[in-house]
Amino acid sequence: MTQGKRRPWRDPDNTALIAHWDVVRSVALIAIMMSRTQSSVQTQASRLGLPPRTEERGRHRRRWLDEDDTRLDALIARLREEDGRIPIQGVADEMGRSVDAVVARLVGRHGEDSDVLAMLVAPPLPAMPEPNSDRSAPGAKPPQDGDGQKKKKGKTRQCLKCRKSFWSEGNHNWICVTCKRSDDWDFDY
């Protein structure tokens, strides 16, 4: 998570970001996995049109107290592995906060280029679903979010114009945002 030379986002990077976005559930973890900064990941997710993060209520926006900082330091010391790596998901779970909240606190206390941040380890990725596994069994209820609303099922598609991967919200969306913004996209019928 160190600041360094900017790396361009290539199509395989975009595909990986899209694949991680709904599975990993944390910008900080995705940044660790992709060896990029959180701001770079968040900016690229916005450019790709990925849906906004939904945060569990109360886990991210609670004020950090001195006791919380003391507890965080103790947890890091207790959970640190023999090689010095810190399982950030375990720390966040025991703190009762999101990974993003814990990482933001560590950045605020130690800085972006801290040795502590360099030692954070993301958990292994869960197995990716099969390409056709989004089809439900007959009579099965559609997936829902925390509010009981139907959850939008998006997926990765290749833009019909530039052939780059992008996040598509549905079957109606086959052209990426970049191509739609280009001058030659606006045409008269």
- Determine, yes or no, domain membership for 174: yes
- The distance in angstroms from the start CA to the end CA of the chain is 48
- Report yes or no on 145 lying in a domain: no
Boundaries of domain holding 159: 155-185
pTM for this structure?
0.56
Q: What angle do CA 31, 77, 60 make, to 5 degrees?
A: 45
pLDDT value for 70:
92
> Domain count of the chain?
3
> What's the pLDDT score for residue 74?
92
pLDDT in tens, 135-178: 444 444 444 555 555 555 677 788 888 888 787 877 778 888 88
Domain boundary among 121, 146, 163: 121
pLDDT in tens, the chain (189 residues): 444 567 899 888 888 888 888 777 778 878 877 888 888 988 998 888 888 766 554 445 678 888 999 999 999 899 888 888 888 888 888 988 888 888 888 888 877 666 777 788 877 665 544 444 444 444 444 445 555 555 556 777 888 888 887 878 777 788 888 888 877 766 554
114 shares its domain with 86: yes
Note whether residue 180 is domain-resident. yes
Residues 6+ apart with CB under 8 A from 98: 26, 55, 56, 59, 60, 92
